[in-house]
Structure 1
Amino acid sequence: MKFTRREILTAFLGLPFALSACKSNSETSSIDGEIVGASANIGHILRENRNVEVPANNWENLKVAIIGGGIAGLSAAWKFTRENFNDFVLLELESAIGGTARSGKNNFIGYPWGAHYLPVPFKENTELISLLDEMNLTEGKSQNGEILIKEQFLCREPEERVFYKGRWYEGLYLRVGASQEDLRQLNELNKQVDFWVNWRDTRGKRAFVLPIANCSNDAEVTDLDKITFADWLKQKGFTSERLIWYCNYACRDDYGLRLEQTSAWAGLFYFCSRVRKSGAESQSFITFPEGNGKFVNFLHNKVKDKTRLKSIAIEIIPNEKGIDITYLNTETNEIRGIHAEKVIFAAPIFTAKYLIRDFKQNTPDFVKEFEHNAWFVANLFLKDRPKNQFAKDFPLAWDNVLYESNSLGYVNATHQKGIDYGQAVFTYYFPMAEKGGRAKLFSLDWQELADIVLSDLSMAHKDIRALTERIDFMRWGHAMISPRRNFIWNGSREKATKPFRNIHFAHSDLSGIALFEEAFFHGLRTVSEILIAEPAGSGR
């Protein structure tokens, strides 16, 4: 069944947007573009349960095979090389490395296809700091031992602005027109954040910190996971429309979920985990035009000779001698196999039931607990940047949010380079939070997706269609794990983290939060598990 333009815009942007947009121009014939990334058909090979025969001369022996080339898989590979362990290979099904942290580049600048910043880590996160040191991003430490990042790699001002009722305003929380009650409730939320930032359990552990493995599991904290963030806000008496919007945006931004879908633990984690002490600002953002693609490219360059792209694992078969992996080179259609002693499974956990033979036959209950949501990302290539409608409008920032939109707005790739005039690349994000979002997303063609994005942005930028030369799209069917109510602390993550017959699991899914720091942590954790059990000098 084909939907009308009004029906599509209503589903994505809401009826008021749709009614307004349908009165305006929908022309995109002068705009080029495509849907990029791996075909959904390649991923669906996993679901086909293929039985393949590997030719005898296509087998090889390795100590370790890493399945998945996102941040977790790349971090594991990087850690192996740092430990002088080289008997491994990394298999990635796509033609480009990095998963949801990957990036693109045109003739003048890089741009993200997903994650686009990293908060400056606390001093306790020594392994992540060692990566930043290796990348030459740091410039020493403060008097209290916190890492200092070179200024050019910190997000430049202005960081954020929000579009509301025809005007652009500074910041993310909408202060213009806020009542005394609105501001009182915002102050009260900050007090709640301060309480949890200061909170420590009997072992001195924080309630919320990165990585999550270092968070307290005290019942006072974990009980927050049993209710939604929407319910927590109600219990605390928060009713301000502006504050509710602000918290809802936070959930959609980091988790792709609405308030009523998000665990209260996850909602508070967003506000508390990156604040060193009460009253302090959140940690500054490390960012680049290409977003977290900068980290992907650095890690990949370190392990490029160990990486095989366009290589989709078909089956992982534990046996008495180790593990057999069969995989398909999607470019040559060649079937190959690996006899490995260990596997690092750095793919999303839901794929385990399609890949691991034992899980196909009897899927563990905990695997079913891992739910993901869909997103799409659009990169708009502009011949010039839109002009503000009013002289007093807040100027173009790094992050540009539309208050009345279901999207998350866009980040400006040229911002960090200090390019404030002329060509630009806007990276637009849309989380599919509603039920059935994945099917809805993949039912749309390029033209329909382009119309959604341009109709949305035209509310703030009347000239967006005339300025846009190209729009490319990336559809993420399983973009990130969903920290819904009663998932983070229901025991499923802990069960999934345990090795299964020499298969070690490494993915941000295991934290319940899709963040760089979590993927990095799990990649390094699995390497440590393997090397501890490895005889000295073996594989080196």
Structure 2
Amino acid sequence: MELTRRELIAAFLGSAVAASACRTSRKREPVPGAIVDRAVETGHRLRGGPLPRAEVAEPVDVLIVGAGAAGLSAAWRLAGAGLKDVRVVELDDEVGGTSRSGKNSVSAYPWGAHYLPAPMGEQGAVLRLMREMGAVTGTDAEGYPTFSEELLIREPDERLFYQGEWYEGLYLRAGATADDLAQAQRFEARMNAFGAAKDAKGRKAFAVPTALSSDDAEWTALDKVSMAQWMEAEGFRSPRLKWVVDYACRDDYGATSEHVSAWAGIWYFAARQYGKGERSEGFLSWPEGNGRLIRQLLSSLSPKQVERHVLVHTVEPGAEGCRVEALEAGTGKPRAFQAKQVVFAGPRFVAGHVVAPWRQQRPEWMGAFTYGPWVVANLTLSKPPRGRGFPLAWDNVLYESKSLGYVVATHQALRQYEGGPTVLTWYLPMAGADVKAEREKALSAGYGEWEAMVMADMMLAHPGIEEQALRLEVMRWGHAMVRPSPGFMWGPARFAAQESLGRTLHFAHTDLGGMALFEEANWFGVKAAERVLKELGHSVTSWL
């Protein structure tokens, strides 16, 4: 049965957005644009029958399958060790995975991850990358790195839209009761305590990346319950506080607090600080978001080392290396590689279709990995949007919508204050419990439906924005984020999945860290590369 416009908007964005869309409903011309993702159909060829094999295999020392943040981090580490015979193959026409970016005549803009929390001292590989970029300016009095002012997100950095008006920050203080504020203060104190906590070995209870966190049962027991259950048990019942925690879970994990491990929920608030709240270094961002990090990783390689439009369909590990079968995605021509070492830098659900031994016998741990879909849209405007209350910020969040709102690509350039054109990047995590149903919803909606939903969300906060809209482009990520569900972060499946297969096939991806974050991708990419170096007989001083 076909949904009405109101039912469609309510199903994706909630009743408040749908009601507003109906109240302001008037005939308007649709914003020109398109759905721009193309890899879904090509990737689904892996589910079909046997694919053709090449007669001759191209020899290569190291083959990296996947040019997302993890794969390029592996290639970056190998380049740092002086390896030349390294090839990276990627299915899509753009590298970067969910850190990729786009650009038009107005600005560059992200298609996924759009910022990096300023790394702290122990984040060796990420901090090394920041130094290569010239982003690190020195150290502060406590010995922590300091960063270029032009990269730190300037104020106003966050605002919240609620019942017709914008407010500063992400906690809704307008109309808050004394009990609301007391619970918020108590919650902050608990998170600060978690941020300061260390075990007998000196490890932080919650660290970045997650691999540096304490494995003491005192902390890992939190993984057995959901964040929502932990909040209830601790007496955190204020609707405003619960909204903030739910927003945090949807923002970083693409799921509500009911479906996120309490360990992961607390990690969000505690891992990037030392017990005094959010560290002053803040967040680093670029117009293209984390696409800037991808560009930096890519700069360590020659153009010939990275091949796009290559669909790898079989990886057969052996004692002397791996044979890798592939197709040229455009022509269907079979390709093959004989690699001494392979880094498979794709998610587990793809590995299950590609790694030959796993096709024959699926590992038990694979069922523990679940992935939530996202939709990202970039809306180009002739001038900045209007709104009541607190002024336009970098991050603009809608309290009554299931979306996360939008970030402003031109924020660092101060362009919105000049009144010139800008690009708003809108995010919708499909956060329902049934990820397969959510994925089907995301992929079944066409451009007209997405245009109606994005504009309904935007018009709720910015009446008249449709008159400024020049173009809308929509990207659907069917398997955007691994979900840190209760029991997953410290359960056996995630650790089993990190093991190499023999001595020639190694793995790297954010899903191995349980969180779809750049720091996790970089950690596992570098870790896989250092395993490769050891197998090739190189002396390795770890960057981790």
TM over 0.5: yes
In the TM superposition, residue 28 of structure 1 has moved relative to its aligned partner by 5.9
Tell me which residue corresponds to 1:461: 462
Tell me which residue corresponds to 1:521: 523
Moved more, 1-10 or 197-206: 1-10
Tell me which residue corresponds to 1:21: 21
In the TM superposition, residue 180 of structure 1 has moved relative to its aligned partner by 0.9
Tell me which residue corresponds to 1:409: 405
Q: Do 2:373 and 2:477's aligned partners in 1 also have CA atoms closer than 8 Å?
A: yes
SS in 2 for 1:474: strand
Q: Deviations for 1:413-443, whole angstroms, at most 9, x for unmatched residues?
A: 0101111222110000000011211001111
Moved more, 67-76 or 295-304: 295-304
Give the RMSD, CA atoms, in angstroms. 1.6
Q: Deviations for 1:338-387, whole angstroms, at most 9, x for unmatched residues?
A: 00121101001111110011100101011111100000000000011222
- Structure-2-length-normalised TM-score: 0.95
Tell me which residue corresponds to 1:504: 506
In the TM superposition, residue 25 of structure 1 has moved relative to its aligned partner by 3.5
SS in 1 for 2:485: coil
Query: Aligned partners of 1:369 and 1:67: how far apart in 2?
Result: 23
Query: Aligned partners of 1:26 and 1:537: how far apart in 2?
Result: 68
Matches within 5 A, 1:80-479: 80-279=78-277, 281=279, 283-303=281-301, 304-389=303-388, 393-420=389-416, 421-434=419-432, 435=434, 436-479=437-480
In the TM superposition, residue 536 of structure 1 has moved relative to its aligned partner by 4.3
In the TM superposition, residue 137 of structure 1 has moved relative to its aligned partner by 1.1
Q: Deviations for 1:300-328, whole angstroms, at most 9, x for unmatched residues?
A: 23223310011110111123432110111
SS in 1 for 2:173: coil
The amino acid across from 1:358 in the alignment is P
Q: Deviations for 1:255-308, whole angstroms, at most 9, x for unmatched residues?
A: 010011111001000000111333454651010011000011121232233100
SS in 1 for 2:527: helix
Query: Aligned partners of 1:105 and 1:157: how far apart in 2?
Result: 24
Q: Do 2:369 and 2:482's aligned partners in 1 also have CA atoms closer than 8 Å?
A: yes
The amino acid across from 1:462 in the alignment is P
Q: Do 2:88 and 2:305's aligned partners in 1 also have CA atoms closer than 8 Å?
A: yes
Q: Do 1:210 and 1:517's aligned partners in 2 also have CA atoms closer than 8 Å?
A: yes
In the TM superposition, residue 117 of structure 1 has moved relative to its aligned partner by 0.5
SS in 2 for 1:457: helix
The amino acid across from 1:118 in the alignment is L
Moved more, 407-416 or 269-278: 269-278
- Structure-1-length-normalised TM-score: 0.96
In the TM superposition, residue 30 of structure 1 has moved relative to its aligned partner by 4.8
Query: Aligned partners of 1:282 and 1:367: how far apart in 2?
Result: 39
Q: Which runs of 5+ in 1 are unaligned?
A: none
SS in 2 for 1:152: coil
The amino acid across from 2:17 in the alignment is F
Query: Aligned partners of 1:384 and 1:20: how far apart in 2?
Result: 23
SS in 2 for 1:153: coil
SS in 2 for 1:246: helix
Tell me which residue corresponds to 1:5: 5
The verdict on how the C-alpha distance between 1:280 and 1:375 changes in structure 2, with shifts beyond 3 A counting, is closer
Tell me which residue corresponds to 2:64: 66
Query: Aligned partners of 1:330 and 1:282: how far apart in 2?
Result: 46
Query: Aligned partners of 1:476 and 1:416: how far apart in 2?
Result: 27
In the TM superposition, residue 173 of structure 1 has moved relative to its aligned partner by 0.6
The amino acid across from 1:357 in the alignment is A
SS in 2 for 1:379: strand
Query: Aligned partners of 2:527 and 2:105: how far apart in 1?
Result: 38
Q: Do 2:396 and 2:407's aligned partners in 1 also have CA atoms closer than 8 Å?
A: yes
In the TM superposition, residue 537 of structure 1 has moved relative to its aligned partner by 9.4
Query: Aligned partners of 2:135 and 2:26: how far apart in 1?
Result: 44
The amino acid across from 1:36 in the alignment is V
